[in-house]
Each structure stands twice: as structure tokens, then as C-alpha cells.
Amino acid sequence: MASRLKKYSEGKDYKVVAFVLACFFNDEQARIIKKVVSEASKRHYKVVFFSTLSYFYFNDLNDAGEKKIFDTISVERYDAIVLMSESFKADEGQLALVKRANEEGVPIITVDKSFDGCINLVFDYGDTFREIVRHMVEAHGYRTINFMGGMPGNSYSEERLSVFKEVLAQNNIPYEPERVYWGHFWEDPTKVAMEKMFEDDLPMPEAIICANDAMAITVCRCLQDKGYRVPEDVAVSGFDGIEIGRYNSPRLTTGEQNLDEFTRVMFEIIETGKYKTDENGKIPIYNKVQIGASCGCTSLETAHVASEMSKLKSELHQQIKYQGDLNQLIANFGHTERFADIIEAIPEYMEPLRYKTFWFCANTDLISEAEVSRQSPEDAYAPDNPVYTKSMNVLRYCGNGGKMDTDCWESMEFGELIPDREKQLEENDFLLTLTVHMKGKAVGYTVIAFDLDLFWFTAYASFVTSFRQLLEMQKAQMELMRVYMCDLLTGLYNRNGFYQKIQTLLQVAEELDMTLISMDMDGLKKINDTYGHMEGDEAIKALGSIIKSSIHHELAARIGGDEFLIAFAGRDIEGRTEEIVNLLKQGIRSYNESSSKVYALNASIGVYTNRVKNHSLDHFLKKVDDLMYAQKYLNKKERGDI
């Protein structure tokens, strides 16, 4: 299928890559982002990262919304797509992305989880894990060894268990199934597994080999809580090289992803289109072993654990304080009646993130300042993308002490990413995009530009969560106001809404003229009695539609069963008044000419205009009602009803 839109790199001296991964704020994912950015800048590439706040473990309503990140990517605009496929624990969104990329002829690279139609990179975990097990067995001579696996049946867990068995066999060590425990890659299940190990009637092991670092850290703590020394009494090894493993006491012996090799190979494939696969059609990336002290070695790289832990503790306190600030944001603005209040408050609460520029790109149907809104045709969802509207409304904030660029929403076509994309890509090597959703439905997305050395990744995740909560509360507030102020049959204001809005109008229009137009349907009782109340409702809805099509920003309400009011103020408004009345009459005539109804729609109209100053609302209402009822009398007399 031919691309409908030009690539972001067209006419530029750089290429643009979409890089998709889960949970950008996680230490390991942040480390990947930094490596990708470093390599991209050397090669003069631009990278737009697309990420989430979840891994899709739970497949719940929140995950349903987070999965909309895949729909945010206009695949045809990129020169290549890199998908960290294993970071997501659900495949349907990834498969849809792969299909779209294939249709558009955009090369797509997947990492660790392979899909047809992709270039598949895989980290060679097996060989690296084999080196770790051999180190424990052959370098240290441990023979009584327990294995802490992930999940039974999980491919990575089973691969590592298979390697464990293989190395034991090569060293003539009997495999004991009862020494295999399952920590499910998480802290809490590992604690349960360790309790079982302490309760089992087996001699304590000399070493425990773990399938990942999170379990290894938990194993160390559990051993130490029971009075065992690591590694003097029981040695421990981990795998996957998470950042916190460097500060474990003792530092973990583990395996690390070779991110330097990964980024080099990835960009060479994108640049040349050439790659060499193994017999399984995959491109292996060979990892490396990081020797720590937990295995019994003297660590070759001494980490300043005390100072680093002090730094981490300080960061934790900052995170807790910032979360408190965000809680205050929710408390202060969660029930505000004006969305503008939230817009004005955002820069203050974003300042600690140390960002450059932040964009919020919203579907046009997200928030309307008017409680009763009329959606225009251009706001409709694109047929090929029902997730985002064809036109997006965008707010932009500048960090580093800057102020919001615009006082209102800026319009942008979906697919442009941000309004000033070309300028921003010239100035920034990378951007980060997240979806914004409510109750599983995407309502927009955020884009942020930042400095890698200054940006606060974890705080940004907290901010986006709070921002989304604010939007949800504002949307709920608006919906409640619609129920209170809106006539559900016609979509106009109801009596409550009219009186609330007219008071605001009167306050600002004291020196202006105001027009009230009163409109009362003729013959509603006859329609109800003859054709039923459902048909009467249809007639009321038809008249409401005629009113909406006859006005622009004027205040219109259904204040009773078949009674309507239109109000507006200004200078020299006689012409506009006459125009609206003529449109109402023409709308009724057109409806009757085109309608297949057996009855005709009729209405009596009264119009009153005067200076607001020195006249009460009751004065306007009484005058316009008198004129409307006089017209109703004439209409009845003309029809022969009296």
C-alpha cells in the first residue's frame, strides 16, 4: 500500500527511527534509551521513543489504554521501527504494528521476541548464563547448588534450567530436582520459595544460582536475615544486570546485556539493510558476564556502595516529596470547574522534571470548555484509525523556566506528531511519546523533549499518571455538569443550565444590548395524543436541531416541555437577531418539506431586545413571553383553532 504521507526525514540530512519499548522509567529501559540516543547521535539519526507505564502483565482496563501506544505510531512516516518486543507481555498490539509496517514497506526490527515479517535480534542469554554457571562450578568448585528459576514453562526460565543441568552433567554433578525452586522472577514469590528451602530437609547449598537479579537480591536478603553470610556460607549469582545489583551487598555476579553491540548492530542494519542470521533466522547479540563479589570473587570493579546508596536514598526522598506535590495537584484541581485552571497549574508541577518542551496532543472530543458542545465533521475519527481524531488539539509547555507558548489549544492533523516537528527534530535528537487514556480508551498522547543528563524519568511517569487522573476527574465533572445543565433530549441547555449561563452573560453585558428569543412549539399535545409521546419527543428533538443549526455561540436552552429560549448580547445586534429568526423559520419550512411525518412542525416565536443596564432578567423574560404568546394567539387564529 502506497504511503499517504511523506516521511519525517524527507528532504533532511537525517533519518528518523521509531523505537518502541515498555516502561521507559525502569532503570534497565532508561539505560537502553541512553545507549540508543548515544549511538543515534554519532550516526546523525533522530529517534522518537514510544513507551508505556505498564508491561501488559494484567491485561486489565489500564493495560487496554496503554496498548493504544501502538496506534500512536504513524508507521509510514519513519525510516525504520525498532520494537523491544519482549518488554511487552501481550502481542496483539505488536502484531498489528508489524502488519502496518509490512504494508507500508517500513523495515521493522524486533528484539528477543520474533514475529514474521521482521528482522529479529536476540540477546544470547543461554551462552552468558552458561558462563556464569561454569564460573560457579569450575572456578569456585561448588557442587551442592540450588537453582532459583523464574516461572515453570517460561521459555527463558526453562532455557536457564536446561543450561544449569547441562553444566552440572559436564562436571559430573548429579542433578537434584528437589533443589530447584521457582521465584517467578519477582521478590515476593522468591521469599516464599526461600521459606520452603529453609523448611526442606536438605543440607544447605554451597551456592544458589538465580535466573535473574531481582530474585538473586531477594535470595541474598533472605539468607542474611537467617544469619548466613554471602558468599562465605552460601554464594549467589544473578542474571540480567539490573542497576540495583551493583549496589547489592555483596555486589552481584551477573550477566549483562551487551547494549553497545546491540545498538551498533541495530543501526548498521538500518543504514545498510544488510544482516547475517543464524540457522534460526535470528541475529544474535552476545552478552557479557559481570563478576561481582556474591560468587566468592573479589569484585574487579569496586563500586562506592555507601555513597551510591546515599544518593539513591536522597533520590527516593525526592520522589516521595514529588509524589506528595502531585497529590496536592489532584487535591487542588481535581474538582475545578474550569479546565483552564488545570492548564495554568501544570508548569509549576512539571518544573522538577527538568524538561525542555512538553506537548499534550488531545483528541478533539476530550474536553470542551462549553458543557454543551457540537462536534464538527472534521473532529470525527479517521476511518483507518478509530483511536485518534483526524484533528488533534495541542498544548505546549516550555521548561527551564519558560512559559506555555499558547493560551489555547493549537490545531494539528494526526500523523504530524507535534505542530513544530521539523524544528524540534532539528534541535533535538530524540523525543519520548506516551499515550493518554481514560477507562481503556485513548484520548490523546504526550510528547516530551529533554536532556538525558537532567531528566527525571521516574517522576515523569508519576506526573503522567497524575495528569491522566486529573483529566479523568475533569471529564467526570463535565459529564455531571452536563446531566445537571443539559437537556438530554435535544443537547441544548436545560432550565438549570440556562439560568446559570444567563447570569454570567448579564454580568459582562451591562453596557450592551441583549436579545431574548422565545420559541414554543405549536400543537405538541395533539402530536402526543394522536401519535404517541415518542413521536412528540421526535418533534421536540427536530426543533432542537433546527435551533442548533441556526445559532453559533449564542446561548440556547429547552426550559420546558416545548419551550425554548435563545439569548445573546452585543452591540448593533438587530441584524443578527433578524438572521437567527429567519433561520429558525426557514429550518422549520425545510423540515416540513423534506419530512415524511404526517404532521407539520410549527412554532410560535417572540423576540425582545433592549439594553441590559437597568433591566432585570425577569423584565426580559416577561416581555419576550408576552410577545411569543401574542404570536401563538395569531398562529392559532390563522389555523382556525380559535
pLDDT at 181: 98
> Which of 263, 312, 257, 311 lies closest to 286, judged by CA?
257
CA of 297: how far to CAs of 232, 236, 241, 302, in Å?
10, 11, 17, 12
Taking a C-beta distance cutoff of 8 angstroms, is the pair 90, 56 a contact? yes
pLDDT at 43: 95
Cα separation, 205 vs 82, in Å, equals: 43
**Residue ranges of domains in the chain, CATH in brackets:** 1-115 (3.40.50.2300), 125-256 (3.40.50.2300), 312-427+437-485 (3.30.450), 495-639 (3.30.70.270)
Cα separation, 515 vs 619, in Å, equals: 12
Cα separation, 123 vs 283, in Å, equals: 9
pLDDT at 385: 72
Classify 325 as helix, strand or coil. Answer: helix
pLDDT at 308: 67
pLDDT at 375: 43
Cα separation, 203 vs 195, in Å, equals: 14
DSSP conformational letter for 152:
T
Start-to-end CA distance of the chain, whole Å, equals 69
Taking a C-beta distance cutoff of 8 angstroms, is the pair 185, 169 a contact? no
pLDDT at 23: 97
Taking a C-beta distance cutoff of 8 angstroms, is the pair 330, 470 a contact? yes
∠617-622-623 over CA atoms, to 5°? 100
Taking a C-beta distance cutoff of 8 angstroms, is the pair 393, 362 a contact? yes
∠624-625-629 over CA atoms, to 5°? 120
Question: What is the H or E stretch that residue 438 is in?
Answer: strand 430-438
DSSP conformational letter for 492:
S
pLDDT at 573: 96
pLDDT at 481: 77
Cα separation, 150 vs 609, in Å, equals: 78
pLDDT at 63: 96
Classify 435 as helix, strand or coil. Answer: strand
469 residue type, one letter? Q
Place of cell 535466573: 211
SS3 content of the chain, % helix, strand, coil (to 5): 45, 20, 35
DSSP letters, 344-363, are: HHHHHHHGGG-EEEEEEEEE
Cα separation, 313 vs 450, in Å, equals: 24
- Which residues lie below 8 Å from residue 387, measured CB to CB, with a gap of 6+? 68, 71, 72, 381, 442
Cα separation, 243 vs 230, in Å, equals: 19
Contacts 24+ apart (CB under 8 A), 8-15: 8/46, 8/77, 8/78, 8/417, 8/421, 8/425, 9/46, 9/79, 12/425, 13/44, 14/44, 14/45, 14/46, 14/425, 15/45, 15/46, 15/79, 15/80, 15/270
Please, where are the H alpha helices in 456-559?
457-485, 495-508, 524-531, 533-550
Cα separation, 569 vs 251, in Å, equals: 74
> Which of 83, 23, 21, 89 lies closest to 464, judged by CA?
23
Number of Cβ within a 10 Å radius of residue 182: 21
For residue 369 the three cell numbers come to 470548555
Place of cell 437537556: 487
Segment-wise mean pLDDT, segments of 10 residues, the chain, 642 residues: 73 97 94 96 97 94 96 97 96 96 97 94 93 97 97 92 98 97 96 97 96 97 97 96 86 94 96 89 92 86 61 84 93 81 87 94 73 47 78 89 58 94 95 95 96 94 95 83 88 93 90 96 94 95 96 94 96 96 97 94 96 93 96 84 70
Cα separation, 411 vs 418, in Å, equals: 10
> Which of 429, 427, 497, 438 lies closest to 464, judged by CA?
438
Taking a C-beta distance cutoff of 8 angstroms, is the pair 545, 590 a contact? no
pLDDT at 466: 95
For residue 430 the three cell numbers come to 530524540
Question: What is the H or E stretch that residue 159 is in?
Answer: helix 155-170
* Cut 0.85: pTM above it: no
CA of 543: how far to CAs of 197, 374, 489, in Å?
77, 16, 11
Cα separation, 221 vs 194, in Å, equals: 10
